[in-house]
Structure 1
Amino acid sequence: MLEAEFDKFAGEYEQAHAASIRLSGEAPQFFAEYKIADIAARMARRGEKPRRILDFGAGVGNSLGPMRAAFPESDIVLLDPSAQSLDIAQARFPGQASFQAFDGQTIPFEDGQFDLIFTACVFHHIPEEMHVGLLGEIGRVLKPGGSFFLFEHNPWNPLTQHAVRNCTFDENAVLINAPQMQRRMAQAGLTRTKTVYRIFFPHFLARLRPLERYLARLPMGAQYFVHAVKPGP
């Protein structure tokens, strides 16, 4: 999670991302919006209104627009090791969040500060030996009873493999399947988890997407998320 590696691609992130997902028929914003919509729906079902939200590995802020729309009353913090990426995010969304750089290892907040923590396709950039430690840090700053949503690319989906192979900023990526991720979360103390697979149909089959709720356990979606709830005191 080297700052220089992320800074290298900060200015060209949007173009590189759009090129890598061209086969899906969707723009990058589609992927940001569906993730936040999923989170908002699950939070609403749980009756939760997060007061404070952390976007872990927020990059250039692609999730901030839909997150601000979904949670207009929440305090939102964007956290990333790339100061250059955060500068771009702040220029795009002035005054809509707090922007916090960190060293890639220790989250610079006290215990139990956030009701909701979200990370989108970040952990495949992080060396495996750091996963449990960072997940433990996320659990530390999450409030008891709070929700953590971790979205990742599904390595069992061939189109996902194609997109990652053809993305310049994914050149060092190591994809993680959902069972592996759940085990690492459990090692970090996040044991109450549920996995949902997402994005089974490209844009030209978008009319079939309402069927995805019946496919959520099928490990062939292009992406997945793991929802963890931190145990209470």
Structure 2
Amino acid sequence: MANLPLISTQASGSPATRCATSANSKISGAAERRPGVSGTDRGAKALPPTAATSSEAKGAAPGKIDFDDYSADYDELLRESTKLYAEDSEYFARYKVDLIRDAARGPIRRVLEYGCGTGRNIGYLQAAFPDARIVGTDVSAASLQVAAANNPKAEFEVEGEGLELGAFDLIFVASVFHHILPAERAAVMATLARRLAQGGSINVFEHNPFNPVTRRIVSTCPFDADAILLKPAELRSLLRHAGLHLQRQTYCLFVPPRLSWFLPVEKFLGWLPLGGQYWVSAGHAG
């Protein structure tokens, strides 16, 4: 999906498989497990005919993006989608991981990225939490093959019903929920809440639907053909209904990195609904 800033663009954000000995064997879980969505800050245009054909062949819902179709050239499509905002498409991964690292409390031993896609955030999570076990999940097995090859020390699991991973101190979800059908979002959030350890936090980043530039970029971006943007109120409601207590909500990604002199000011603008994305975190009571 595309991580979208106030003045221009971004893309990135989606789930994982247990580590084995080779890149191919690192992806555990059956390919048949395919409910949910794939993310890692994904981006989108109209669904290409080839993608529609392969998605329908797999029994996917009509019009739904199948990220298996984009796994080989995802990075290139992402760079193309975000080049007006930042020449370095890795900027958005660093930006968000820095935010959650600085906000983390207590020891972080296990980290889950739900919807990790091709693993663009995984290396930054490993650097931010060097003592933690990093697990990524996604519904796209093809994307996870790429993630496993590029991140041999992380673990990956194909996301699906009945997947048991244990509890995590930190859960990171970047630009994933707008790919999930509204009727399925509550069930996904409930699953994530069950995976969250006591004292841990779930950190969700989403595109800001109040930002006209964000909306325009989503409407023309290659992986967002199925995107249904969430307002912050909906995300807060999903977290509360999953039994979680809100810790923060802040708007972010106000300016492109070339305006680096302005970046220190962003932390004072979190209340202003003009950032390209917003971040909501929550945890269990007590």
Distance (whole Å) between structure 2 residues aligned to residue 159 and residue 136 of structure 1: 31
In the alignment, structure 1 residue 185 sits paired with structure 2 residue 239:
yes
Instruction: Supply the distance in 2 between the matched residues of 1:167 and 1:106 (Cα, whole angstroms).
Output: 32
Residue 203 of structure 1 deviates from its aligned partner by 3.3
Q: Which runs of 5+ in 2 are unaligned?
A: 1-35, 39-54, 56-65
Structure 2 residue aligned with 1:229 = 283
Shift of 1:192: 2.5
Alpha-carbon separation, structure 1, partners of 2:112 and 2:247: 19
Following the alignment from structure 1 to structure 2, what is the Cα–Cα distance between the partners of residues 2 and 57? Answer: 7
> In the alignment, what sits opposite 1:109?
165
Equivalent of residue 154 in structure 2, options 78, 83, 97: 97
- Which protein has greater RCO, CA pairs closer than 8 Å, 6+ apart? 2
Contact 1:154 1:221 in 2 (8 A): yes
Aligned equivalent of 1:14: 75
CA deviation map 1:99-151 (0-9, x unaligned) = 11122x454324xx111111100111110111111111101011111111001
Once residues 214 and 118 of structure 1 are traced to their aligned partners in structure 2, the CA distance between those partners, rounded to angstroms, is 23
Once the two structures are superposed, residues 194-231 of structure 1 have per-residue CA deviations (whole angstroms, 9 ceiling, x without a partner) of 11110111234231111001101111100111011222
Q: Is the 8 Å Cα contact of residues 107 and 138 (structure 1) preserved in structure 2?
A: no
Q: CA deviation at 1:26?
A: 4.1
Cα separation, partners in 2 of 1:116 and 1:35, compared to 1, 3 Å? same
Q: TM-score, normalised by structure 2?
A: 0.75
Does the aligned pair in 2 maintain the 1:182–1:193 contact within 8 Å?
no
- 1:200 and 1:176 map into 2 onto residues whose CA distance is 18
Aligned to 2:149, the other structure's residue is in SS state helix
CA-atom RMSD in angstroms: 1.5
Identical pairs, percent: 37
- Inter-CA distance 153–212: structure 2 relative to 1 (3 Å threshold): same
Alpha-carbon distance in 1 for matches of 2:256, 2:113: 27
Q: Is the 8 A contact 1:19 1:167 kept in 2?
A: no
Partner deviation per Cα, 1:27-54 (whole Å, 9 max, x = no partner): 22100001110000001xx3x2210111
TM-score (ref. length: structure 1): 0.91
Paired with 1:2 and 1:165, the residues of 2 have a C-alpha distance of 19
For residue 216 of structure 1, what is the aligned residue in structure 2?
A: 270
1:81-230 counterparts in 2 under 5 A?
81-94=139-152, 96-103=153-160, 105-110=161-166, 113-230=167-284
Instruction: Identify unmatched segments of 5+ residues in structure 1.
Output: none
